[in-house]
Amino acid sequence: MTLMNTGKPKRPIIHPLMVRITHWINALAILCMVTSGWAIYNASPIFDFRFAKYLTLGGWLGGALAWHFAALWVLVINGLIYVLYGMLSGHFRHDFLPLSIRAIWRDFVAALTFKLKHRLGVYNAVQKLLYIVVILFGVGVVISGLAIWKPVQFQFVTGLLGGYDFARIVHFAMMAGIVGFVAVHLVLVALVPSTLPPMITGRAPAHDPHSQDPEGAPI
């Protein structure tokens, strides 16, 4: 909120600057990690398929690995900043909690019957669940990645994940979870395009009645 009164009421910030910055850096990092990861997977597939080459990054295995192990620093550092911010600022506590199974079921049924109202700045229970789950997938993809990268130095972690070969499957599953989330996320943005500008400007659209509440959750 600005201290100067410009005469015109400013639309409230629903996505704080930190969330917007880390969101877009994360989007780029995930894109690099997933596409280079698919190229690495293709060198020795664990399932009976390969990813189409035009979806992969790096050109050959060495290039893909170079991308993967460079982008990982962006992913991890940005992710740590986001999680620390989320915990310290109250973003997680205010916006992802409380969460009950009953509320998830209620909003899930409402969504499937197209009765769920979208209110900018407030997450429904299904959204809250998905955001929490994808953060856990993010933690899981990093931990399983460490288990594959350092099966000797971090053999304790690799052992917890069922050994080197199974840790590869876990890493793949975490990637699949993240990609699945991104797919749903993009479909929902396409269905409710008004959610996109606030992720860039931070501000709620003027016509959104909910956004007039200055005490609204800063999301």
DSSP state of 60: S
Closer residue to other proteins, CB minimum distance, 64 or 120: 64
Check if the beta carbon of residue 154 is closer than 8 Å to that of residue 147: yes
Its sign, for the CA torsion 189, 216, 200, 58, is negative
Contact string (CB under 8 A) for other proteins, positions 90-129, x = contact: ----------------------------------------
Q: Is 143 in the site for other proteins (CB under 8 A)?
A: no
Q: Is 55 in the site for other proteins (CB under 8 A)?
A: yes
Residue selected from 9, 10, 24, 61 as contacting other proteins according to rule CB under 8 A: 61
Closer residue to other proteins, CB minimum distance, 14 or 167: 167
**In the window 168-197, what residues touch other proteins (CB under 8 A)?**
168
Closer residue to other proteins, CB minimum distance, 16 or 151: 151
Residue selected from 24, 27, 77, 153 as contacting other proteins according to rule CB under 8 A: 153
| Interface region with other proteins, contact rule CB under 8 A, candidates 93-101, 152-160, 175-183, 199-207 | 152-160
Q: Is 63 in the site for other proteins (CB under 8 A)?
A: yes
* Rg of the chain in Å (alpha carbons): 20
Residue 147, CA distances (Å) to 25, 81, 131 in order: 25, 22, 24
Closer residue to other proteins, CB minimum distance, 110 or 179: 179
Closer residue to other proteins, CB minimum distance, 43 or 109: 43
| Among 122, 123, 135, CA closest to 181 | 135
Q: Can you tell me which residue has the tokens 């990092």?
A: 29
User: Which amino acid is residue 83, in one-letter code?
Assistant: V
Contacting residues toward other proteins, per CB under 8 A? 31-32, 35, 40-41, 43-44, 46, 54-63, 65-67, 69-70, 73, 148, 150-153, 155, 164-165, 168
